[in-house]
Amino acid sequence: MTRAQQRIAIATAVTAAMLIASPAFAQSSKIDAADTAWMLGATGLVLMMTIPGLALFYAGMVRKKNVLATMAQSMAATFLVSILWALVGYSLAFTGDGPYIGTFERIFLNGMMLDAISPLAKTIPESLFMIYQMTFAVITVALVAGSVADRLRFSAFLLFCVFWLLLVYVPIAHWVWGGGFLGSHGVIDFAGGLVVHLNAGIAGLVAAIVVGKRRGYGSENLSPHDLTLAVIGTGLLWVGWFGFNGGSALGANSRAAMAIVSTHLAASAGAFTWMALEWWTRGKPSVLGMISGAVAGLGTITPASGFVLPMQGMLIGLIAGAVCFWACTWLKIKIGYDDSLDVFGVHGIGGLTGTFLAGVLAVGALSASPEMPGGVSGLLEGNPSQVLNQLYGIAVTLLWSGALTFVILKVIGAMMPLRVRHEDEVMGLDVSQHGEALQ
């Protein structure tokens, strides 16, 4: 060995020893330009899902007299939840490692300077992680509104946003993603099958039951006034979902790419399946069916997206199209609730199905990390306990979100009427709630 080679060998050994010996050095966080760039873009994509994506998707499915009121709900959820998230929501959801709730460390974004980095996202600025998570809170609250479209008072909705964000969304986000008891128990939810979709879905179901059916449900024609808006909204949601699921990798990496591929294939398979089933059972392949299937596929792949391979994503989309079609066209009628825009049938059932399937199909190699070399394996890789973990997460989400949504609506209902007056509902919420109307 020459002297030069010796010197290199020693230097390498010393460096390696330092890396292992010093935990502070090993865990030191450095903002990565590529990760930051991708997450900046992903944040924009997810915000686009709510405004204008969800606003258009929902507004196209209501009657013409309720279009602006429906868009107002997406718009209000966006600004109100964003403000609350910065004031207190983020801190309670994503700081500390308490099993049930976070801390007040970042209240009013206190101490979030240029160099701040969250331990939950070590290669991007904490301000970016905060606003990325904010867009998730926004869309979850906005999703719930669809089940009670056409009849909920706007003032009651605003109060609902405040209470529901702080008492339902924030705790569940903390439990699953913020270091709480579900995440540490081993429940996997890549981008929000539990936190976003099942959560919004069950809340939507409870809200639809508490608020009651639309006047004329079952007797009058309540058909969508302009499905072209809903198709545009679906397109924006679909593209935005690349940021939703791809961004949940929290970095510009292969896992993000894999999540996007699974997501796109699930959406495609969901749309195809719903269309085929509708064509077969009802005689015509409707446009509403195609877009419903696409959104069902997207919602269902969400919890599994960073844990499964593309072909499994396609399978999940296929199952999503069938299960959600069944929920919207049979289950809803059988149980007899009026979930105006099928928040439960599409997002609730989709989120539940996807969370379960993630436990069945998870491929360990996708989530392998230095801390967890084997990654998270599902039932098919010989880990049946993952399915139990997933069922545990589903049960907790259903119970907490369902029960708290009920209580919140009852409390608001004691303060003010939840519904608009009879004549206002007939006249339409655009005029009665906002003093505006489509001509």
Partner 1 sequence: MKLVIAVIKPFKLDEVRDALTRIGVHGMTVTEVKGYGRQKGHMEIYRGAEYAVNFLPKLRVECAVASEQLDQVMEAVAAAAKTGQIGDGKIFVMPVEQAMRIRTGETNVDAL
Of the candidate residues 282, 311, 372, 403, the single one contacting partner 1 (CB under 8 A): 282
Task: In whole angstroms, give the CA distance from residue 93 to residue 176.
Answer: 10
CB of 418 to partner 1, least distance (A): 23
Task: In whole angstroms, give the CA distance from residue 111 to residue 107.
Answer: 9
Residue 328 contacts partner 1 per CB under 8 A? yes
Residue 336 contacts partner 1 per CB under 8 A? no
CB of 291 to partner 1, least distance (A): 10
Interface with partner 1 by CB under 8 A: which range of 125-133, 280-288, 349-357, 406-414?
Answer: 280-288
Residue 425 contacts partner 1 per CB under 8 A? no
What's the distance, CA 19 to chain centroid?
Answer: 38
Residue 116 contacts partner 1 per CB under 8 A? no
Nearer to partner 1, 110 or 439 (CB): 439
Residue 150 contacts partner 1 per CB under 8 A? no
Nearer to partner 1, 79 or 330 (CB): 330
Angle at 202 between CA 241 and CA 94, to 5 degrees: 60
Residue 285 contacts partner 1 per CB under 8 A? no
Of the candidate residues 312, 329, 353, 401, the single one contacting partner 1 (CB under 8 A): 329
Nearer to partner 1, 106 or 332 (CB): 332
Nearer to partner 1, 31 or 288 (CB): 288
CB of 223 to partner 1, least distance (A): 5
Nearer to partner 1, 83 or 333 (CB): 333
Binding mask 345-364 for partner 1 (x = CB under 8 A): x-------------------
Of the candidate residues 25, 108, 279, 330, the single one contacting partner 1 (CB under 8 A): 330
Residue 79 contacts partner 1 per CB under 8 A? no
Residue 335 contacts partner 1 per CB under 8 A? no
Nearer to partner 1, 148 or 360 (CB): 148
Interface with partner 1 by CB under 8 A: which range of 45-53, 308-316, 324-332, 397-405?
Answer: 324-332
Window 204 to 233, contacts with partner 1 (CB under 8 A): 221-224
**Helix (H), strand (E), coil (C) string for the chain:** CCHHHHHHHHHHHHHHHHHHHCHHHHCCCCCCHHHHHHHHHHHHHHHHHHHHHHHHHHHCCCCHHHHHHHHHHHHHHHHHHHHHHHHHHHHHHHCCCCCCCCCCCCHHHCCCCCCCCECCECCCCHHHHHHHHHHHHHHHHHHHHHHHCCCECHHHHHHHHHHHHHHHHHHHHHHHCCCCHHHHHCCCCCCCHHHHHHHHHHHHHHHHHHHCCCCCCCCCCCCCCCHHHHHHHHHHHHHHHHHHHHHHHCCCCHHHHHHHHHHHHHHHHHHHHHHHHHHHHHCCCCHHHHHHHHHHHHHHHCCCCCCCCHHHHHHHHHHHHHHHHHHHHHHHHHHCCCCCCCHHHHHHHHHHHHHHHHHHHCCHHHHCECCECCCCCCHHHCCCHHHHHHHHHHHHHHHHHHHHHHHHHHHHHHHCCCECCHHHHHHCHHHHHHCCCCC
Of the candidate residues 318, 332, 360, 432, the single one contacting partner 1 (CB under 8 A): 332
CB of 282 to partner 1, least distance (A): 5
CB of 234 to partner 1, least distance (A): 14
Residue 284 contacts partner 1 per CB under 8 A? yes
Place of tokens 């490692």: 97
CB of 424 to partner 1, least distance (A): 23
Of the candidate residues 286, 388, 402, 424, the single one contacting partner 1 (CB under 8 A): 286
Give the N- to C-terminal CA distance of the chain in Å, as an integer: 87
Window 16 to 35, contacts with partner 1 (CB under 8 A): none
Residues in contact with partner 1, counted by CB under 8 A, come to a total of: 17
Angle at 245 between CA 249 and CA 358, to 5 degrees: 90
Q: Which residues bind partner 1 (CB under 8 A)?
A: 221-224, 282, 284, 286, 288-289, 292, 328-330, 332-333, 342, 345
